[in-house]
Homo-oligomer: A and B are copies of this chain.
Amino acid sequence: MQNERRLAVLRAIVEDYVATEEPVGSKSLVERHGLGVSPATVRNDMAALEEEGYITQPHTSAGRVPTDKGYRLFVDRLTTVKAMSSAEKRAITSFMAGAVDLDDVVGRSVRLLSQLTRQVAVVQYPTLSRSTVRHVELVALAPMRLLAVLILSTGRVEQRVVDLPAAIDDDTLANLRASVNGAAAGELIAQATTRLREVAERAPETTSAITGAVVTTLVEAMSDHRSDQRVAVGGASNLARYGDSFDTAVRPLLEALEEHVVLLKLMGEATTGGLVTVRIGAEGPYEQLAQTSVVATGYGPSDEALASLGIVGPTRMDYPGTMAAVRAVARYLSNILDEA
């Protein structure tokens, strides 16, 4: 695959097919794009491209359609990610302005992303593992029952009810609150858990049972990987545009969207720095999703990847535009988390 024009032909086929949703033939190709050669020449190139597996015909006497391999080449070598126009940037800014809490930020991001790309958007909540503890609050609900609230640097709040083995008085509670915060506040989750365990061990005999219960709950909350799997999904109505291929494309995708674990595996490892990952069709492990692609990237404050975000859609999509939108939203989201 060295021939220069062939690449141009492939690019033209992909662009046309994405735009029209119909197999593209040699004649319409030379008309719509200004390649200065005749249809017959293009036909030769197409035959070669088909030979090499980049395109295929649905049936004889029909135009060509890109294969997964063709899309792959397209995104890897024929794509320059467009920058967002300043109008689009303004739109993003105004859309995100006024978000009040983490849920709100994530919710807005997912809506924004789905509107920009007209695809189904997925945003993972910031993972616990790389954030720090901002504050721990203990509130007495009843003599033998506490509410433990864990506030993290990403704005995330975890809460647990703790049933105590014995009643607790106000002084003990205040002491406990102070020591727990002294140990955990400002620390990374990993450090905080070990330091909290030390607190539990050093606790005076009289309160060790209570301290133990509280610490256990906190540590549990911090290492709760279930909550790492929280994701927000939006723009499912964009699936309506699939129209055709309901059974083969939409149904499995709808199912995948409910399986957050699957979804996160699809999005893959979070990476930052403007690197956008593209998984095309059957490249992934889920044969059900052979007709869907994933465009994803990581986000997080100061380029530290906290979580991933992206879209899922048909293999036949506008990759350059989608990649640009995903990158833009990830950057914006990272900035917001930086400030907060």
Q: Which residues of B contact A280 (CB under 8 A)?
A: none
Do residues B234 and A258 form an inter-chain contact, with CB atoms below 8 A? yes
Of the listed stretches A25-33, A86-94, A153-161, chain B binds A153-161
Q: With the chains together, A265 CA to B246 CA distance in Å?
A: 29
Decide if A236 is an interface residue (CB 8 Å cutoff). Answer: yes
Q: Which residues of B contact A151 (CB under 8 A)?
A: 139, 147, 149, 159
Q: Which residues of B contact A255 (CB under 8 A)?
A: 237, 240
Do residues B147 and A101 form an inter-chain contact, with CB atoms below 8 A? no
Say how many copies of this protein the assembly contains: 2
Decide if A82 is an interface residue (CB 8 Å cutoff). Answer: no
Q: Given the known A-B contacts A151-B147, A151-B149, are A161 and B235 also in contact in the complex, defined by CB atoms under 8 Å?
A: no
Give how many A residues have a beta carbon under 8 Å from the other chain's beta carbons.
36
Q: With the chains together, A101 CA to B220 CA distance in Å?
A: 13
A 235-251 to B, binary, CB cutoff 8 A, 1 in contact else 0: 11101100100110011
Do residues A161 and B246 form an inter-chain contact, with CB atoms below 8 A? no
Do residues B237 and A236 form an inter-chain contact, with CB atoms below 8 A? no
Shortest beta-carbon distance from A245 to chain B in Å = 11
Do residues A137 and B161 form an inter-chain contact, with CB atoms below 8 A? no
10 A-B residue pairings within 8 Å (CB atoms): A135-B147, A137-B139, A137-B149, A149-B149, A149-B157, A157-B159, A236-B254, A240-B247, A240-B255, A243-B246
